[in-house]
Chain A
């Protein structure tokens, strides 16, 4: 009993110690692969996902020079696994989602993926060596299923960018489903565009238009 208590305390101390080191700014440079715990605190989850992506971009000279195809690839690898693409697409489609066949829903999600990757990449396109992600202290109900984590991405070549993530608790842990860059929510910004396309050319028209943008 005493032994387990001791090791528990040690583990806790080590974790605190590690967190302290991260706080000192060692994150991102050395730790390319911080373990992502999707079932932990939402703040830590976003911090791990964000710092991994940041570290990957910093380690890749082409990405750091703003090569978008490289950044897209890294975002696809480091961020997309933690994004609920289906939910993002479903909310952007709004009431039209229910009018789509399951196949159309699948195709639409796949077609929107390219745009989502480019959007997340856009937020990371000016990363440089001094770029750092600061996660704001979590405000809100820690037990909620739908939370917002606020962060600031600082960089040398420009003003710091405020990026907020909206997360939902799923059975697999936290999933990001919406992104806010400087006050602009992603889903909100696509709702009208989706509605316009669908009412003019139907859901297939929207899928086609999205795919055309992906192949550009």
Chain B
């Protein structure tokens, strides 16, 4: 059994300081966050409320008509508990209007479209409210590519991007995310009965242990096999990581000049801040 460290006291201290620092240095003091009622967005929202004060956090719930009503109820308990401001934007009309023209779109296209509509709503309200968009993607889904590019993966600052799902669960419990949210099966909630683990075909517990050794501890394939992981599982996860690399980078730019953005024009994002 591989133990992934979950020092929740220290993680909480660091992530709260991170949100406060990275937001305030831009000259802003507020964030907007898409709150689904799942553990990731609940944790992000609660950490932001702690860092910036709840009145500076706007949690936006953006259900579609097929969304599980329990998700909405869970989101509301987080709003109540954190004291964050909230807004409800039902995305059904804009989604349905679009897919009336493309009725044979499959579940994947519909799911991605919903994620991207939610992104545009978050960015619109960030402009309206002088706020930054707070991210909710964790390290597990970022590494597996289990997210929608320019959809739920889009944000200005993301406190959870270096936390595996197991760490998210531990930290969520420690900061007081309601236990019902921490314990329920993670789901993108695109259709009835969908779960992450069902769709991915493995459990977060299994994959986090593998990712931790592979990515953080730099175990070789032979060392991973010796540690008890099945070859097929190792190869499947390796290909997930490789094939989703594009989601973790800026678009590829054709180099023609002497100085090309992100290749030999290199500045930190916090340039001058």
Are A and B part of the same complex? no
- B residues apposed to A, CB below 8 Å: none
Residues of chain A at the chain B interface (Cβ within 8 Å): none
